[in-house]
Amino acid sequence: MKRILLLILIMISSIASAQAEQTKNAEQSVMCMFVQTAHSVAFNNGTLTLKGVAPTTLFFADRPKREVGHMTMKDFLKDWNEGKDNFATDPPNAVLSIFDKDKITDVVIVLSKPRLKDQNLSYDVSILDGEMPAAGGESSLFIDPRGMPRTPTSRAGVHRRERRRHAIRRR
């Protein structure tokens, strides 16, 4: 009887330890959005190039753990292929916001195959919403969270809803 009780206590202890570890890992897991800025952009044959891109990518998360910071472009590109829900297997949505003298152009896109050459970062892109100009001025690229490219609270999701609402109002 004592052995059975001891085995039960060991099993309960093991289960509790495993649950504590899962909780700890879940708390450490944070869904981050990313922002990349550039002096100008160019688009040609499905390739978007951020010219004069900043050497770091800004990341931020809201809840459950508020975090903000910068990571080097090298680290961002290295992380592209890492993890279970990586961007290589599940390409992220993004919004490219281009600032020109007279207007701001927003284009919702899907990013894939990033490559950095000198100060220029290129992506293969598919356009989901908006019209991509062949060239543009200063820009910010808002990249949705890893593993959740179509989350409704993402920058791209918010932009899509705003466009739909605007289109509905125009009718």
Domain ranges of the chain: 30-170
Answer yes or no: are the C-beta atoms of 107 and 99 closer than 8 Å.
no
Q: Which residues pair with 47 in a beta bridge?
A: 44, 124
What pLDDT is recorded for position 165?
Answer: 47
pLDDT of residue 121: 98
The predicted structure's pLDDT at residue 12: 60
pLDDT at 3: 61
pTM for this predicted structure: 0.70
Give the pLDDT confidence of 44-66 residue by residue, as tens digits.
999 999 999 999 999 888 766 77
pLDDT < 50 regions, the chain? 22-27, 147-161, 163-171
pLDDT at position 102, please? 86
Are the C-beta atoms of residues 47 and 81 closer than 8 Å to each other? no
**Residues in contact with 159: Cβ distance below 8 Å, sequence separation at least 6, in sequence order:** 95, 106, 108, 129
Sign of CA dihedral 152, 153, 154, 155: positive
